[in-house]
Amino acid sequence: MLRLATPGYLRFHQATEFEASFGGGESNVAVSLANYGIDVDFVTRLPKNDMGDAVLKTLRKYNVGTSKIIFGGERLGIYFLESGAVSRASKVIYDRAHSSISEIELDMINWDDVFKDATWFHWTGITPAISQNAADVLKIAIAKANEKGITVSTDLNYRKNLWKYGKTVQEVMPELVAGCDIVLGNEEDAEKALGIVPEGVDITGGKVEAAAYESVSKQIMKKFPRVKKVITTLRGSISASHNSWAGFLYNGIQSFVSPTYQITHIVDRVGGGDSFMGGLIYGLLTYDDDEKALNFAVAASNLKHTIKGDFNLVTVEEVEKLMGGDASGRVSR
């Protein structure tokens, strides 16, 4: 997806140029994983034109495998981003209807080939929100992954401005989540996508109330027995420039609450959730410790807020330094 952002806090109509980069839920996770040294492929459908080619070049730059991408369709999805500050929220305008991925057909991807040698499949709630076709293809992929014993993770990622093709999110998502082993979301996602209400949680105040998150996690696990871990991102929106940031993980046995970071001078918060997921998958694959995986995910995504663009361009060393408690930002020289 092409991201077109106004520079320097300009409003859309003030801009005479847009900063151009590429991003989007699943590709953001893929880039995180590649940065951490994980072997990863991105599967999607791109238009066969210079825009699709630029996406390819970008993914290759960040060492994401591109051999499973297919080509065709009309256009690359776009989103426009206006950067907010303090009391003025950032604004996103989606222009992704009729993108190549939204018009994918059932038999275009051979999932047996794609999943050959794969051990993990990650998808987000953006994909089934785009079109019936995308949701249908995703359903097939999840079933195939389940069949092959591949770990399936999802980020619920509810976006009210998508979901325009006639189905509601709750008609589509539960069936897909049923095939997942790992579920990530925030409080709003669980409620909107799955109808599961976080109790006693003030979503703008940013306070962490572990009991409430555990209750939501347990409801999810009960409703979707395959789910083994539920993770919640905890964003406290003090303002568009200052957020608190933490995470919660429940694995059916134990709950973990990460440290809470104050992100006092946000550079770019888009992709924050994706960078959390990328960190989480890395942590779960690398450490044999759910709490450490959670803390890696939170530290990684804290750093994302200091980086321009959708991608979280940090190294394992940088994340581990922050996990270790050094948030002092002293010049490295």
Binders in 148-167 for a copy of itself, by CB under 8 A: 159, 161
Note the residue count of the chain: 333
- What CA–CA distance (Å, rounded) separates 66 from 43? 7
Q: Residue 142 or 314: which CB sits closer to a copy of itself?
A: 314
**Structure tokens that stand for 60 in this block:** 């290759």
Q: Residue 192 or 269: which CB sits closer to a copy of itself?
A: 269
Q: Residue 152 or 263: which CB sits closer to a copy of itself?
A: 263
Amino acid at 99: S
Comparing CA positions, the residue from 253, 252, 308, 245 lying closest to residue 279 is 245
Total site size for a copy of itself, rule CB under 8 A: 83
Binding residue for a copy of itself (CB under 8 A) from 26, 82, 181, 290?
82
- What CA–CA distance (Å, rounded) separates 23 from 19? 13
CB 243 within 8 A of CB 224: no
Q: Residue 139 or 242: which CB sits closer to a copy of itself?
A: 242
Q: Residue 66 or 286: which CB sits closer to a copy of itself?
A: 66
Q: Residue 74 or 112: which CB sits closer to a copy of itself?
A: 74
- What CA–CA distance (Å, rounded) separates 333 from 79? 37
Binding residue for a copy of itself (CB under 8 A) from 72, 84, 174, 259?
84
Q: Which of residues 29-58 bind a copy of itself (CB under 8 A)?
A: 49-51, 53-54, 57-58
With binding defined as CB under 8 A, does residue 78 bind a copy of itself?
Answer: yes
Q: Which of residues 162-191 bind a copy of itself (CB under 8 A)?
A: none
DSSP characters over 135-193: HHHHHHHHHHHHHHT-EEEEE----TTS--SS--HHHHHHHHHTT-SEEEE-HHHHHHH
Q: Nearest approach, Cβ of 256 to a copy of itself (angstroms)?
A: 20
Comparing CA positions, the residue from 162, 153, 141 lying closest to residue 92 is 162
CB 284 within 8 A of CB 152: no
Q: Which of residues 99-158 bind a copy of itself (CB under 8 A)?
A: none
Binding residue for a copy of itself (CB under 8 A) from 41, 71, 88, 260?
88
Q: Which of residues 251-310 bind a copy of itself (CB under 8 A)?
A: 261, 263-267, 269-270, 302-303, 305-309
Q: Which of residues 206-235 bind a copy of itself (CB under 8 A)?
A: none
CB 123 within 8 A of CB 172: no
Q: Which of residues 1-30 bind a copy of itself (CB under 8 A)?
A: 4, 7-21
